[in-house]
Structure 1
Amino acid sequence: MGQLIAEILPLALGIVFSPLAIMALVAVLVSPRARLNGFAFLLGWGLAVLVVFALGLWLFQVIEVHLFEEPPLWIVIVRLVLGLFLVAAAVWVYRSGQVHVDSMAKATTPGEVVRAAPQLPGWLRAVQSFTFFRTVLLGFGIFALNPVDLTCALIASLDVILAALPEAQTVLVGTGFVVLGILPIAVPTVLVFVRGAAAAPFLGRLRTWIASHTNVLNAALMLVIGVLQLQKALVALL
């Protein structure tokens, strides 16, 4: 089980350091309905992590990939493609991440957050008027439609199935992965729910830290994950 944890920990961290999700959350938490919609975003994000990971477990269990003595060719190809995608994404994130650092650090309203992070959907400018249900969909979509987060969750589910652990250990590792993936959204949301406007200094520091460091950390994590997938694919081919 220790080896499996070591393999999926970088995948969980790839989700933890998701700048797109954190910047979207900050936009929600500086809106007038911060408490209610912050919880809605957390609910949507948590459901997305759980659903995508569980769907991957179910799919790879149905295919019975853990019963093969050697990984079938399609798994090797999937790892190869995902590895190349993550390496390319790491380069793109690192090169483009510095462009909006200053404006992201100074943003104080949802509109400024969106202008500072143009990768966010333009309609996020209207986040202050979002209903609870629409914010749940936002949290779900930010995860489920992000190719990096989606890739990390699916690779983790594949690794869990391939490990062929006893059911109790599989549940334990899977639960840990999901909880870790939810934590970066849960911590600021709970803080705002408990402290309200008094949490503003923390949000300011969080925004500044993200603007200054997250692109480098995210690029590094994607590079590590990508290289690990390429290494596994090449070992299987050779």
Structure 2
Amino acid sequence: MGAAIGQFLPIAVGVLISPLPVVAVVLMLVSGKAKANALAFLLAWFVSVAAIVTVVAILVGGAAGDAASRPAWVAWVKIALGALLLLLAGSQWRGRPRQGATPETPKWMTVIDAFTPVKAAGLAFVLGAVNPKNLLLVVSGGAAISAAAQGTSTRLVAALVFAVIATLGVTAPFVIYLAMGTRAHTILDALKTWMIQHNAIIMTVLLLIISAKMIGDGVSAL
């Protein structure tokens, strides 16, 4: 278990500090159905991440066998994932807002005040399981678990730990809201503004770091 956590921890932290899901929770917390929408988002986010990382960890791990007989394609999968993350990092960097420019606001941010808990859960699924940036990170986490953990039960537990860590980022604004109530609006609004403004740079750095890790792990396993 310790080896698996060591392998996936940087990736889980990458999911944890992804800006857009955190911004989504902040926007929900300043809307009319703050608690219901935010809680629905958190639960759906956790389930989405846990489901994907578990499926990848078990399928890849089961196909690859134990560490002694693991085929070369497992290493190549890691290298391929690292290369995709590297390409995504380049795309993020090229699309960053120039100095003094205001980042384009995603359409869902403008209508989030009218969300119901069902729509909030749907947004969590889209951001957690459909969004290419997050999907690649979570799949990379599953691949890391499959390579480091032996046995289905160990991989299941490791996948749940990954999902818990990956959910801490979207949980933090909710905890601040519960602790401070309406007084938290100023803090949350400042957090939202900063993360929107620096989303591209944050994601570029995260993707570069995790890309280097995945490629390095793959090369060392060949």
TM-score tier after normalising by the smaller chain length: 0.7 to 0.9
1:28-39 to structure 2, matched below 5 A, reads 28-39=28-39
Provide the C-alpha distance between the structure 2 equivalents of 1:171 and 1:67, rounded to a whole number of angstroms.
Answer: 16
Residue in 1 that maps onto 2:42: 42
What is the aligned-residue identity percentage?
Answer: 27
Residue ranges of structure 1 left out of the alignment (5+ in a row): 104-115
Aligned partner of 2:176 in structure 1 is: 191
Deviation at residue 93 of structure 1 after TM alignment: 2.2
Contact 1:101–1:212 (Cα < 8 Å) also in 2: no
The answer for the alignment partner of 1:203 in structure 2 is 188
SS of residue matched to 2:88: helix
Of residues 78-87 and 26-35 in structure 1, the stretch that sits farther from structure 2 once superposed is 26-35
Amino acid at match of 2:83: L
- Tell whether the 8 Å contact from 1:97 to 1:215 is kept in structure 2 after alignment: yes
Deviations 1:65-124 (A, max 9, x none): 133635434323322221111112222323433449864xxxxxxxxxxxx444x3x244
- C-alpha contact (below 8 Å) 1:12/1:177 kept by paired residues: yes
Write out aligned runs for 1:61-80 (5 A).
Answer: 61-63=61-63, 65-67=64-66, 69-80=68-79
Distance across 1 between alignment mates of 2:26 and 2:96 = 17
- For 1:24, the equivalent position in structure 2 comes to 24
Aligned to 1:112: none
Give CA deviations for 1:194-226 in whole Å, capped at 9, x if unaligned.
543221012023124424655434322211211
The alignment's TM-score, normalised by the length of structure 2, stands at 0.84
**What is residue 125 of structure 1 aligned with on the other side?**
110
* Counterparts of residues 132-147 of structure 1 (less than 5 Å): 132-147=117-132
Match of 1:81 in 2: 80
* In 2, Cα distance between equivalents of 1:208 and 1:98: 14
> For residues 21-71 of structure 1, what are the alpha-carbon distances to aligned partners after superposition, in whole Å with 9 as ceiling and x for unaligned?
1222233223222222111111211111111122223322442x1336354
Per-residue Cα deviation, 1:107-163 (whole angstroms, up to 9, x for no partner)? xxxxxxxxx444x3x244222222211111111211101222222222222222222
Query: Shift of residue 6 of structure 1?
Result: 2.6
Partner Cα separation in structure 1 for residue 4 and residue 100 of structure 2: 35
Q: How many Å separate the matches in 2 of 1:7 and 1:101?
A: 38
Q: Given the alignment of the two structures, is residue 56 of structure 1 paired with residue 56 of structure 2, yes or no?
A: yes
Q: Letter of the 1:72 partner, please give it.
A: P
The answer as to 2:6 corresponding to 1:11 is no
Give the partner amino acid of 2:174.
Answer: T
Q: Distance in 1 between matches of 2:100 and 2:146?
A: 39
**1:74 is aligned with what amino acid?**
W
Letter in 1 for 2:176: L
The structure 1 residue matched to 2:141, chosen from 131, 156, 165, is: 156
Provide closer, same or farther for how the CA distance between residues 230 and 57 of structure 1 changes in structure 2, counting only shifts above 3 A.
closer
| CA pair 156-196 structure 1, distance change in 2 beyond 3 A | same
SS in 1 for 2:31: coil
Q: Matches of 2:159 and 2:30 in 1, distance apart? A: 32
The 1:89–1:25 alpha-carbon spacing in structure 2 relative to 1, beyond 3 Å, is same
The alignment covers a number of residue pairs equal to 222
